[in-house]
Amino acid sequence: MPELPEVETIVRDLRPALVGRRLGPMRKSTRSLRSPWKRSWRRHLRGACVRSIERRGKWIIISLDSEVCLLVHLGMTGQLRVMPASEPVAPHTHLIFHLDGGRAHLRFRDVRRFGQATVIETRSLAAFFDRTRLGPEPFKLDASYWDQTLGATRRSLKAVLLDQSVVAGIGNIYADEALFEARLHPARSACRLTAAERGRLRQVLPKVLNRAIEGRGSTIRDYVDGAGQVGGYQNEFRAYGRTGEPCQRCARPIRRVRLAGRSTHYCPGCQNLRPATHARVNAEFGE
């Protein structure tokens, strides 16, 4: 599933390709995405000029001068690209927006159809994300909010990081990578972390995500960037998907378990479940 780094990469690719261009007629497939497409939305989109493209969590926000936003969620296999109209339409393409009088297209393709596209008024954008209970961005985590939120739940760290109402944009891959970086066992109860450990995790999250953005995201199966190219950060994984391979820090084999309903990868040597062993780790982080 595309997570924050993949979505951010696509947003950065789409900005120079879309901002300032006008949307023409659109076509949709007969198959539905996660939510239905309303016919009334067409009149708000046709002829509208793209003002900006931003990201919120895993959502792509395309703001138009008609005072509406086209919101796109890639789900598990979604792809959003600008391409010449002459390029053959790939199977599982569900939305096509004409650009430049039909010479180019903005196409949304989604093999598994867990993605979503919706149109809302610009003034309702904040309320939309409030209704979806989307948490703060990992780059702007307030220390007091983080301490209070983690301290109030017995859930595992893996479950907390996957909860989009706690922190937006993180999924299975980067939860594993961040917990490895922070030397925290994914099964640790969030409320049992020390203040130093909570702070360490808060600082590690943007570090890992920024590295992944620099690597243009991770391609496991379907992800391609806004130019149709695969990501490169999958070659830099230190925990995710490395079951049985030696840890890059201590050489112990990486383990995989089922946690919070997802496959979870960790090092049993570096990410000890017992917090009493973390004094040395805290010292290494200068805590």
99 plus 153 within the same structural domain = no
Weakly modelled stretches of the chain, pLDDT under 70: 275-287
Distance CA 27, CA 222 (A): 23
The last residue of one of the domains, among 69, 104, 131, is 131
| Confidence at residue 139, expressed as pLDDT on a 0 to 100 scale | 97
15 shares its domain with 108: yes
Question: How high is the pLDDT of residue 275?
Answer: 60
Continuous H helices in 163-194: 172-182
pLDDT for residue 279: 47
| Claim to verify: residue 142 and residue 127 sit in the same structural domain | no
120: Cβ contacts below 8 Å, ≥ 6 apart: 68, 69, 71, 128
Asked if residue 166 and residue 126 are part of one domain, the reply reads no
**Number of domain units in the chain:** 2
Give the structural domain span for 253: 138-284
pLDDT of residue 24: 96
- Give catalytic residue positions: 2-3, 58, 262
pLDDT, one tens digit per residue, over 108-122 is: 999 999 999 999 999
